[in-house]
Amino acid sequence: MKIQPFHLAIPVSDLEKCRKFYKETLGCGEGRSSDHWVDFNFFGHQLVIHYQDPAEKAKESSNPVDGKDVPVPHFGVVLEWDVFHEFAKLLKTKKIKFVIEPYIRFEGKPGEQATMFFKDPCGNALEFKAFKNMDQLFAR
């Protein structure tokens, strides 16, 4: 089966602040847009930010994973191992405030991975991860 890019739409309360974050901080190319939404090339996938009134935002929560409080809901992508580590360095130079700092999760176990979490300017949680061995993506 050939893997195709996914499409994800997320709510944001400040379209311009998030446009700048995804474009300038994360380096995502901008595609189509209107005064209520913006498309981005999110690491080869289509991400659309849609304006949503802040009063309509859902309550945040978390789940414990590997001793950390993982924000729920969240989204992100799996990067190549070296790309992940270079991206983490770049984010640190841009003073990203991490929810979970970059680290190796499930070390020495099936599914061992590098992971990090941070939020966009409107509070949407993002996870970036990488596997030294991509065959471990769904390992149990």
> 50-80, pLDDT tens digit by residue?
998 887 766 678 888 889 999 888 999 999 9
CATH code given to domain 63-140: 3.10.180.10
Fold of the domain spanning 1-51:
2,3-Dihydroxybiphenyl 1,2-Dioxygenase; domain 1 (3.10.180)
* Separation CA 108–CA 104 (nearest Å): 10
Strands 29-33 and 113-119: unpaired
* Separation CA 76–CA 103 (nearest Å): 16
Q: What is the pLDDT of residue 2?
A: 67
> 102-135, pLDDT tens digit by residue?
999 999 988 899 999 999 999 999 999 999 888 8
Q: What is the pLDDT of residue 21?
A: 98
Identify the weakest region by mean pLDDT among 23-27, 39-43, 130-134.
130-134
Entry pTM:
0.87
